[in-house]
Amino acid sequence: MKEGIATVVKNAGSHYLLSELPLWRPFPAVLKGKVRLSGSESTNPVAVGDRVRFSFGEEPTVRDPARISEILDRKNHLIRRSANLSRASHVIAANIDMAYIIVSLYFPRIKTPLLDRILVTCEVYGVPATVVLNKVDLYRDEGAGEIAAIRSIYEGAGYPVIETSTVTGEGIDVLRESCRGKVNLFSGESGVGKSSVIKALDPSLDPKIGKISLAHLQGKHTTSLYEMYPLGGAEPFGYVIDTPGIRGFGLVHLEKEEIALYFPEMLKASKDCRFTPCTHTHEPGCAVKQALDDGLISPERYNSYLGMLEEDRKFR
Ligand SMILES: Nc1nc2c(ncn2[C@@H]2O[C@H](COP(=O)(O)OP(=O)(O)OP(=O)(O)O)[C@@H](O)[C@H]2O)c(=O)[nH]1
Ligand SMILES: [Mg+2]
Ligand SMILES: [Zn+2]
């Protein structure tokens, strides 16, 4: 009987693939009885990126898989709420070193409120985030001003911004360096180029990446499939997790007073607000509104904040 600790690299509902990272040698595994992560209400206790304790008799095979007996503590995780309005949530990935939120100026057009909502989610769950502005080949000239504006908004809020094109290859080296030594999760609206970017990072990767998202978009699959891929073969220099779109990439239990805590630039400014709590809307002596007036907080980000406050009110 061999025992060890490995990382979940694929979650196919009832069975899993594990690999003893940093090596890439996936082997099949199943849960041994009821494995619960303490304090979790998730419908899916084991997620891609989880570090688990496993045991097996002979060499693990599909017929005779290894058994997962324990999920080790997570440093972070991201969840997705179920499509129906139930409270159930689904952990989509755990132990993420960097989340790349991919956007493009056109096809599809960037939606900053959506981007900000995803960034808030990352902050809530303690996942570092980088904004990737893809398809820059399409708008190098006429979009130059807007590219600069987006860069300034998000760098100003404390997020790295990387411009990429999978057509010209620009920015791909920068992104590859950023991915080095990390478990990297790719998220963003359908069509922004998540799968294309992953392929650009390592052209040898399995082209079925795109199919996962398509299946999800058609809404046929209730059990989504999440998978980690190695960058650079059997001895990878990093890992990527492709996600099927961002639908239901949800926030849970965020109180009105909490929202600003997850806008890093607002959190920083709010230390000097006269009142606590402060909603940063009408209160006198609000340091956030002052920072907005001084151009230290961008109007776009502030508007996203107001939108989230408003939405919170609707659900009360
Ligand atoms: N011009 C241009 N087109 C791109 C670029 N990256 C991706 N595309 C195109 O954008 C389309 C969508 O790319 P995908 O990689 O499938 O996008 P995705 O984000 O994985 O989309 P889903 O899987 O549906 O969530 C494809 O037609 C790509 O060829 C780019 O840098 N420049
Ligand atoms: Mg895709
Ligand atoms: Zn305030």
Stretch 37-46: mean pLDDT, rounded?
62
Mean pLDDT of the chain: 86
Query: Which protein residue's CA is at the shortest distance from atom 14 of ligand 1?
Result: 193
Query: Which protein residue's CA is at the shortest distance from atom 25 of ligand 1?
Result: 190
pLDDT at position 80, please? 78
Q: Based on the domain organization, do 118 and 207 belong to the same domain?
A: yes
Per-residue pLDDT band for 16 (boundaries 50, 70, 90) equals very high
**Closest CA relative to residue 131, chosen from 47, 187, 183:** 187
**Three-class SS of residue 107?**
coil
Per-residue pLDDT band for 44 (boundaries 50, 70, 90) equals low
**Closest CA relative to residue 302, chosen from 316, 315, 313, 291:** 291
Q: Is the pTM of this model over 0.75?
A: yes
pLDDT beyond 50 at 212: no
Mutate to test the pocket of ligand 1, among 103, 196, 201, 214 (most ligand atoms within 8 A of CB): 196
Does the Cβ of 190 fall within 6 Å of ligand 1?
yes
pLDDT beyond 50 at 215: no
- Show the domain range for 36: 2-71
Ligand 1, atom nearest to 198 Cα: 15
Mutate to test the pocket of ligand 1, among 102, 141, 164, 166 (most ligand atoms within 8 A of CB): 166
Residue 249 falls inside a structural domain = no
Query: Which protein residue's CA is at the shortest distance from atom 30 of ligand 1?
Result: 135
Per-residue pLDDT band for 248 (boundaries 50, 70, 90) equals low
Q: Which of 183-187, 214-218, 272-276 has the lowest mean pLDDT?
A: 214-218
Q: Based on the domain organization, do 60 and 168 belong to the same domain?
A: no
Per-residue pLDDT band for 240 (boundaries 50, 70, 90) equals very high
The CATH number linked to 145 is 3.40.50.300
Per 3-state DSSP, the chain is made up of helix, strand and coil in percentages (nearest 5) of: 30, 25, 45
pLDDT beyond 80 at 46: yes
> Token pair for residue 298?
């961008």
Does the Cβ of 172 fall within 6 Å of ligand 1?
no
The CATH number linked to 26 is 2.40.50.140
Helices (H), the chain: 112-124, 144-156, 172-179, 194-201, 209-217, 264-270, 287-293, 299-314
Higher pLDDT, 219 or 61: 61
Q: Based on the domain organization, do 92 and 140 belong to the same domain?
A: yes
Task: Single out the residue in 13, 41, 71 at which a domain terminates.
Answer: 71
The rounded Å distance from CA 100 to ligand 3 centre is 30
Residue 151 falls inside a structural domain = yes
DSSP states along 168-222: T-TTHHHHHHHHTTSEEEEE-STTS-HHHHHHHH-TTS-TTHHHHHHHHHTT--S
Ligand 1, atom nearest to 190 Cα: 25
pLDDT beyond 50 at 213: no
Of the ligands numbered here, which is closest to the C-alpha atom of 269? 3
**Three-class SS of residue 273?**
coil
Stretch 206-220: mean pLDDT, rounded?
44
Q: Based on the domain organization, do 270 and 302 belong to the same domain?
A: yes
pLDDT beyond 90 at 155: yes
N- to C-terminal Cα separation, the chain: 54
